[in-house]
A = this chain, B = another copy of it.
Amino acid sequence: MRFKLTPQNTSFYGQFATLATHIRDAAHLLQATVEGPPGEWESAARRLKELEHQGDEATHAILSAVNSSFITPFDRDDIYRLAARLDDCLDHIEASVEIMVLYRVGELPAAVAEQARVLTQMADLTLEAMPGLEKMHNLREFWIAVNSLENDADRNYRQMIAALFDGDRDAVDIIKFKELFDELEAAADSFETVANTVESIAAKES
């Protein structure tokens, strides 16, 4: 119901794409890390920390642009919310590798690489969806695809947890792996929240 004057400030789309690019890079690095040797976890954690900072800067740039713009391409609060939710994805990906390092997590079960692959797909879809915000195009497909991937992540998570308590694993190992599985699950949830936020924006604007 807001007035739409032309020319609109279109740089928001570019800023969202920048943020989503950092997320995509982080997800791919997570996948490479959990598939690679433990000796490279620490350098990956450092690189992810940098990506997290770049993500914070991209988020901050979006918020500054919102505050200094008289007209925004969609609802001001929705821009805030979407930027914050995208930033959450990056934070959870970064935190996953940090847990592996800090907790001295042992050999990863194969399901962790599976989970990382789901996150990579979610991150790729999220980056691809960003240009759609401009014309409110193909956003429903994005939402459906991410929700379907989140169901995969959820099934995978529950199998990992069940396996952890099935047998007589050491309690300290359970603590470590549960922390990692929970963080990966939080990452998958945060992509779903991004997709839901995008869908609610699309619903309002349509």
Indicate if A46 sits at the interface (CB-CB under 8 A). Answer: no
How many Å lie between the Cα of A63 and that of B203 in the bound state? 9
The reply to whether A172 and B171 contact each other, CB–CB distance below 8 Å, is: yes
- Mask for A159-197, Cβ within 8 A of B = 1, else 0? 001100110011110111010000000000000000000
List CB contacts (< 8 Å) of A38-87 with chain B. 63-64, 67, 77, 80
> Shortest distance in angstroms between A198's beta carbon and chain B's nearest beta carbon?
13
Copies of this subunit: 3
Q: Chain A interface secondary structure, helix, strand, loop or mixed? A: helix
How many Å lie between the Cα of A206 and that of B63 in the bound state? 14
> Shortest distance in angstroms between A167's beta carbon and chain B's nearest beta carbon?
10
* B residues less than 8 Å from A200 (CB atoms): 63, 67, 80
